[in-house]
Amino acid sequence: MSEASTNHRRHQLILMPSGRRGDVAHADTLLDAARQLGVELESICGGRQTCGKCLVAPEFGQFPKHHITSAPEHLSPPDADEQIYAEKHGLDLSRERLACAVHLLGDALLHIPESSLARKQVVRKEAGDLAIDLKPAVQMVYVAVPPAELGGRGDWPRLKAALAEQWNLPDLTIDPHLLPHIQTTLRETNGAVTATIWHNREVIRLEPGYAESLYGLAIDIGSTTLAGHLCDLRTGAVIATETMMNPQVRYGEDLISRISYATEPQGMSRMHHAIVRAINDLSKNAAEAAGIAPHEITDMVLVGNTVMHHLMLGINPVEIGHLPFALATDDALDLQARDLGFKTIHEGARVHLLPCVAGYVGADNVAVLLAEYPHLDEGITLVVDIGTNAEILLCQGERILSASSPTGPAFEGAQITHGQRAAAGAIERVRIVDGGVRYKVVGDARWNDELNEGESLRPTGICGSGIIEIVAELFTAGLISGHGKFVEDAADRSDRIRLHGRLGEFVLAAADESATGSEIVITQKDIRAIQLAKAALYSGVRLLMDHLGIQAVDRIRLAGAFGSYIDPLYAMRIGLIPDCALDRVTAVGNAAGDGARIALLNVDQRQMIQDLVRRVEYVETAAESNFQEYFVDALLLPHAVDAFPHLDQIGGWE
Amino acid sequence: MSEASTNHRRHQLILMPSGRRGDVAHADTLLDAARQLGVELESICGGRQTCGKCLVAPEFGQFPKHHITSAPEHLSPPDADEQIYAEKHGLDLSRERLACAVHLLGDALLHIPESSLARKQVVRKEAGDLAIDLKPAVQMVYVAVPPAELGGRGDWPRLKAALAEQWNLPDLTIDPHLLPHIQTTLRETNGAVTATIWHNREVIRLEPGYAESLYGLAIDIGSTTLAGHLCDLRTGAVIATETMMNPQVRYGEDLISRISYATEPQGMSRMHHAIVRAINDLSKNAAEAAGIAPHEITDMVLVGNTVMHHLMLGINPVEIGHLPFALATDDALDLQARDLGFKTIHEGARVHLLPCVAGYVGADNVAVLLAEYPHLDEGITLVVDIGTNAEILLCQGERILSASSPTGPAFEGAQITHGQRAAAGAIERVRIVDGGVRYKVVGDARWNDELNEGESLRPTGICGSGIIEIVAELFTAGLISGHGKFVEDAADRSDRIRLHGRLGEFVLAAADESATGSEIVITQKDIRAIQLAKAALYSGVRLLMDHLGIQAVDRIRLAGAFGSYIDPLYAMRIGLIPDCALDRVTAVGNAAGDGARIALLNVDQRQMIQDLVRRVEYVETAAESNFQEYFVDALLLPHAVDAFPHLDQIGGWE
């Protein structure tokens, strides 16, 4: 480096594929030089040639287009440390070098592999039209702390000073849980430690020597299901996805019954502890599935509807149960995992909760907004996330409207006689042909009449998409009326129908066909449940359309597990969703979970959504006088034929 | 107020006793007007005429000296609210008014009682040459939060907005432990709540309606004794002082034995939990003594030597036991009480730890510095705080030197055959006259030969000051040599001396005189213990004097309980302290406790001492080659007669 101070020559450096170029001083390291050109390379070890994150590929030769000649002698030769690293990790130094080890001695052109860029990009979702930078709330830095001296500063002040000097991280605080360990950790490796820093503000983990495990967990707390993505925060990759039942289900299927149970003695405390235990278990299971230790998880993002959000925080949700549906807080929160009772993840781990909107429109809907960005679409976009509650977003230009509708768990297969989740064996497709029935089950591509002699699909039950299809087919076949009742001569027209006075049932699979050895039927009561659920969703959507003053939407995105299985044609046939060109109705998967994951991977997105959420116009369905009217109308099958011109076009409607 | 906007007249206002004067707008309230003149009045209720903190006394008449005429009609008459307050609290509105209720309609002269000033001053110490403003880390504000509205913000965001608007406290966070209570608290009194705010940053307590209990606890964790001052943070008054034994004593009397015990299995954990339990108990006892509930305590300041500091934080102090005596941290710390295991005080309470210097010079010595400000004295000041460890500060001009010396517990009466603390019955003064003995005990002003027939002082033991005096008297009487050994013919010269070969003992009180029914004696071993203790202290002081290049000090302040009982003449006679004019040796009481209390009452002082402590020059006695030499010399009685010219002048020396 002394050479640099006596030599004022500068060299041209070009970085590919970005094409960035500039003059840099003689003898600067490639790491420093790239930084000067605005390209931040990965570096955990801080230039000690141990982490290998800053690999670059020099390209030699004449590059007339770039007016540059790059030659091997323009880069300083490998020193002992770099050679040791290369031998240990099988690196070919003629093709790749450690940017922190190489001094620039002449003009050079380097290729920077994507993996060496400090700000990696991860694709927003599998469908993938948006990409986000990787910028998690926690980062790891390797730092060399000078030894303790007689009369000198203590270990934490020395570590703090080293972090300020070596990483430009001034004014850090330390999580007090680290204080008892700081001396043993520093001594173990002569002061060389890796610190995990939260939000450039606080040291939350300290490990001896060089370490690089950085994991975070994004969890969507649904009323019925918890879904967690465990992510490697250094790559953005999902390394495990775990789901489990919400153990609060035993205290009530839907939000209203949970709220009601919270007013009973011990009710609140039971539900709170159940969800905290479940999150602890989920964290443990996800870590196990990924082959890491749970305490390697240092950051967490949680989303959920407002009732789940409050129960998790130990807040009684009773006020969400009545006007004006007041939330204790709708702000985003940054909390300590240990304050929330999360004990399996790292003791210093942090938890971020996305903001809520109001009433029943919670952080899960905000996460969908973050995952889908529907307000950036051209025209009008409707996003519905159908769970026990349906979360609805309707966007046109700058306006974002949101509501929540209590669909109940029918679409998830609950409260349906032979309902079940969309797992292998569940009937998911149904056709009625001449009074007989055809069906398909999850896990098999064939219809039941396409099997070989002696084979059977052995259905176990019927899932949400199957329920919708059977209702639509019964109506189309004229076996049930617009009011959802079996018509009087239904039993004469199909031998699968049995009527008991005013009630009745349709046999989907006979006892000898099914895996359970019992018939699989759909009853009058099941049809009613679907009518109630679809009416709740449709009237919520309709209300938002009124608020926007529109009669149709340009596209519909169906989020959630149910949204992935449902056939848009049938969803429209029973009037679950408003009219729309069928090819513009798409399933977007677990958007709430994706939104939680995006917030986990990028702190700027957390800030962005906090600002955006305050622009969301909240519509409380229960407080709107039109809602009851729309709801009653929407109970009918179909509730308004002329509202579905696209069905007419494709001939799917009678 | 609309009047004010249409009337541009201004009036003269004079505030006594400060004499501040100025022009203020017609119809401004006296509260606002005083603020404009730079006089901040107390106000918790924010001008709602409920707290009565802003009382002012108008004075009416002509005041030629001030060129002002003040008349009753220059103040708006009492409105209904003020009259209600006056009736309820027996206020005479012709003499005192609520400044927030009165609008200025003409020139006025007001007397502002000390109790209405927002920044009260508390005297730095009882001796009292310095005063500090009352500016605690926690403040309470009364705030009116608008009710929840359909689709509106949650309760915390509304509270936050109200605090920002009504109290200019922007960007507050909330302690998550409050979230479960925020809705019930707000509903109880229609949104009128009192928030306790920490450092203008975080809401840590929320109470329904108007509340004003604000208490803090300052604790000095000594090796042997814990001393706590419970303070009313609204007045600065100490409302209870509690002391208790440090329960760690059972694991070792002095710092070295505690450090040693910390390396044994469970040793660290036992000592840590013992001190946490003790602080919980002390908090409870202090609250009980003051008649408040422990959970009304919302702030705490802790000081202690470095070993106590580390044990309290759960940090193993093993590294303080050997070179380079490294501290895990010497920085000041702001922590959550619950993170430290403090469970009797408020759940959201905070704890501030003063910074340490290095090695054995801990937050207790820093607290002494904060209480005494010796560096602002003219000339050279020595401050010694004598406990199980002696903390030494030597200051000249801008230089502040500090050291710690392991005196052991002898001065506190421990490890002395009949030693005890300075409590009623302890022999505290001793004179040897012609081989016989005179003594006084704590709690009685008379000498034992001044009693009436049949009376007795019934001594229970001997305390630190008594031990020093008997050693000095034995030496002055020629009964022990300069090496501290009984002289060969000692028993012939005093019938109170018994020799057993090379050892011996002096009978201070016969069995029939004492309260215990046994003799009270001082043994050869006791004399040795005093020699070791005084040599440790003196050689520490001597070393600091060397570092400063001085031969004498201008004044000596003796801190701590022992320092309050000791007779400076005798302290000098045995060579405990260096030579100094006796009238410039003063006792300053529990300076470490006072320093902790100052930090509790004023956050600016916390910041000031953090900056000041980094200027302290640390001298590690154990690492200095001269220390052993000084120590051996200082074992002698007297160790260097010519070093004590002031003793010669007053004839106290032979």
- A202 touches B at CB < 8 Å: no
Shortest CA distance from B325: residue in chain A = A150
Chain A nearest CA to B318, separation (Å): 10
Q: Which chain B residues are closer than 8 Å to A339 by Cβ? A: 176-177
Across the interface, whether the CB atoms of A329 and B155 are under 8 A apart is answered yes
pLDDT mean over A18-44:
83
Residue B394, beta-bridge partner list: B382, B401
Q: What per-residue confidence (pLDDT) applies to A314?
A: 97
Question: What are the DSSP calls for B4-62, one per residue?
Answer: HHH---EEEEEEETTTEEEEEETT-BHHHHHHHTT-PBP-SSSSSS-S-TTEEEEE-EE
Q: Is the pLDDT of residue B224 over 70?
A: yes
| Weakest mean pLDDT among B42-46, B70-74, B176-180, B380-384 | B42-46
Chain B residues near residue A176 by CB distance under 8 angstroms: 313, 333, 335-336, 339-340
- Tell me the average pLDDT across A334-343: 95
Q: What is the C-alpha to C-alpha distance for residues A471 and A466, in angstroms, rounded to an integer?
A: 9
Contact list, A324 vs chain B (CB under 8 Å): 148-152
* pLDDT tens, position by position, B232-268: 999 888 899 888 889 998 898 788 899 999 999 999 9
Res. B206 pLDDT band, cuts 50 70 90: very high
Of the residues A329, A342, A357, A621, the best mutation for testing chain B's interface (the one with the most B CB atoms within 10 Å of its CB) is A329
The minimal CB distance from B154 to the residues A148, A180, A327 is found for A327
Q: Helix or strand or coil: residue A565?
A: helix
Q: Which of A183, A361, A543 to mutate to test the interface with B (most CBs of B within 10 A)?
A: A183
Check residues B562 and A211 and name the one with the higher pLDDT.
A211
CB pairs under 8 A between A and B: 130
The answer, for B142 touching chain A at a CB cutoff of 8 Å, is no
Residue A204's region, left for phi above 0, alpha for psi from -120 to 50, else beta, is alpha
Higher-confidence residue of A515 and B197: namely: B197
Measure the CA–CA gap between A24 and A40, rounded to whole angstroms: 15
Q: What is the spatial distance between Cα A607 and Cα A603, in angstroms, rounded to a whole number? A: 7
Contact A259, A320 (CB under 8 A): yes
| Residues of chain A contacting residue B151, judged by C-beta atoms under 8 Å apart | 324, 358-359, 618-620
Q: What is the pLDDT of residue A1?
A: 40
Residue-wise pLDDT for A134-166, tens only, equals: 899 999 999 999 999 998 999 999 999 999 999
When pLDDT is averaged across residues B95-112 and rounded to a whole number, the result is 91
Say if the Cβ atoms of B313 and A176 lie within 8 Å: yes
**What residues of chain A lie within 8 A of the CB of B313, using their CB?**
176, 179-180
Cβ-based contacts of B153 with chain A (< 8 Å): 330, 358
A-chain CB neighbours of B149 within 8 Å are 324
Q: Given an 8 Å threshold on Cβ–Cβ distance, is B328 in contact with A177?
A: no
Position B645 scores a pLDDT of: 66
d(CA B400, CA B392): 10
pLDDT digits (tens, 9 = 90+) for B338-395: 999 999 999 999 999 999 999 999 999 999 999 988 988 899 999 999 888 889 999 9
B182, B313, B324 ranked by CB distance to A149: nearest: B324
Per residue in A465-498, pLDDT (tens digit) is 999 999 999 998 889 988 889 998 999 989 999 9
Task: Name the band, by pLDDT with cuts 50, 70 and 90, for residue A409.
Answer: confident
Question: Above 90 in pLDDT, residue B208?
Answer: yes
Cβ–Cβ of B324/A150 closer than 8 Å? yes
Query: A359 vs B151: CB contact, 8 Å cut-off?
Result: yes
On whether the CB atoms of residues A590 and A561 are closer than 8 A, the answer is yes
**Phi, psi (rounded to 5 degrees) for B574:** -85, 0
Is the pLDDT at B639 greater than 60? The verdict is no
Residues 620-639 of B with CB under 8 A from A: 620, 623
Q: Residue A597's pLDDT band (boundaries 50, 70, 90)? A: very high
Q: What is the value of pTM for the model shown?
A: 0.81
Question: Per-residue pLDDT averaged across B41-67, rounded?
Answer: 82
Q: How far A610 CA lies from chain B's nearest CA (Å)?
A: 13
Q: Tell me what pLDDT residue A31 has.
A: 87
- Mean pLDDT (chain B) is 89
Contact A176 B151 (CB under 8 A): no
Task: Name the least confident of A295-309, A438-452, B7-21.
Answer: B7-21
Is pLDDT larger for residue A99 or for residue B47? A99
B604-628 pLDDT, tens digit per residue, is: 999 999 999 999 999 988 778 888 8
Residue A130 scores a pLDDT above 90:
no
User: Residue B176 is nearest to which of A154, A339, A623, comparing CB atoms?
Assistant: A339
- Which chain B residues touch A610 with a CB distance below 8 Å? none
Residue B128, pLDDT score: 36
If DSSP codes are grouped into helix, strand and coil, which group holds residue A267?
helix
Q: Which residue of A has its CA nearest to B175?
A: A335
Amino acid at A333: L
pLDDT per position as a tens digit, B289-313: 999 999 999 999 999 999 999 999 9
Chosen from B159, B322, B329, B331 to mutate, greatest number of chain A CBs within 10 A: B329
Closest CA to B522 of B471, B487, B565: B471
pLDDT of res. A644: 63
**DSSP label at A72?**
G
B360: contact with A, CB 8 A cutoff: no
Residue-wise pLDDT tens digits, B126-166: 433 456 788 999 999 999 999 999 989 999 999 999 999 99
**What residue in A sits closest to B151 (Cα-Cα)?**
A358
- Which pLDDT does position A129 carry in this prediction? 42
- The predicted structure's pLDDT at residue B102: 93
Instruction: List chain A residues with CB under 8 Å of B333.
Output: 176
Backbone angles phi, psi at A183, to 5 degrees: -70, -45
Mean pLDDT of chain A: 89
A154 touches chain B (CB under 8 A): yes
Does A6 have pLDDT greater than 80? no
* DSSP category for residue A52: -
Inter-residue contact A236 to A122 (CB < 8 Å):
yes
**A61 burial level (CB within 10 Å; 0-12, 13-18, 19+):** exposed
Helix (H) or strand (E) holding A167: helix A155-167
Query: Which regions of A114-249 does DSSP assign to beta strands (E)?
Result: 121-123, 131-133, 138-144, 173-174, 192-198, 202-208, 215-221, 225-232, 238-245
**How confident is the model at residue A197, as a pLDDT?**
98
**pLDDT tens digits for A211-231?**
989 999 999 999 888 999 999
Q: What is the reported pLDDT for A67?
A: 85
**How many Cα atoms occupy the beta-carbon half-sphere of A385 within 13 Å?**
32
Report pLDDT for A498.
92
Closest partner residue to A150 (CB to CB) among B323, B331, B339 is B323
Cβ-defined contact of B157 to A331 (cutoff 8 Å): yes
- Residue B4: the pLDDT is 41
Average pLDDT over residues B198-227: 94
Inter-chain touch A176–B315, beta carbons under 8 Å: no
Least Cα distance to A622 among A330, A328, A384, A321 occurs for A321
CB contact under 8 A, B148 and A319: yes
Q: Which of residues 295-354 of A touch B (CB under 8 A)?
A: 313-316, 319, 323-331, 333, 335-336, 339-340
**What's the average model confidence in pLDDT over B485-502?**
89
Cα Rg of chain B, angstroms: 30
Q: How far is B20 from chain A (nearest CA, A)?
A: 41
Q: Dihedral angle at the C-alpha atoms of A37, A40, A42, A48, nearest 10 degrees?
A: 50
- A329 closest CB neighbour out of B154, B340, B620: B154
Residue in chain B lying closest to A269 (CA)? B180
Structure tokens, A296: 């390697």
pLDDT in tens, A433-445: 887 899 999 888 8
Residue A502, classified by CB atoms within 10 Å of its CB into exposed (0-12), middle (13-18) or buried (19+), is exposed
Any chain A CB within 8 A of the CB of B146? no
Set of chain B residues whose Cβ sits within 8 Å of the Cβ of A182:
315, 328-329
Task: Kindly determine whether residue A327 and residue B180, on different chains, have CB atoms separated by under 8 Å.
Answer: no
Q: What mean pLDDT comes out for the span A511-524?
A: 91
User: Chain B: nearest CA to A335, how far in angstroms?
Assistant: 7
The pLDDT, as a whole number, for residue A652 is 38
Does the pLDDT of residue A622 top 80, yes or no? no
Residue B551 per-residue DSSP state: S
Residues of chain A contacting residue B326, judged by C-beta atoms under 8 Å apart? 148, 154-155, 183
Percentage of residues in chain B with pLDDT exceeding 70?
94
Helix (H, G, I), strand (E, B) or coil at A22: strand
Average of pLDDT values for B569-583?
89
At residue B647 the predicted structure's pLDDT band, cuts being 50, 70 and 90, is low
- Report the residue from A174, A313, A331 with minimal CB separation from B180: A313
Q: Is A104 exposed, middle or buried (0-12, 13-18, 19+ CB in 10 A)?
A: buried
Residue in chain A lying closest to B616 (CA) = A151
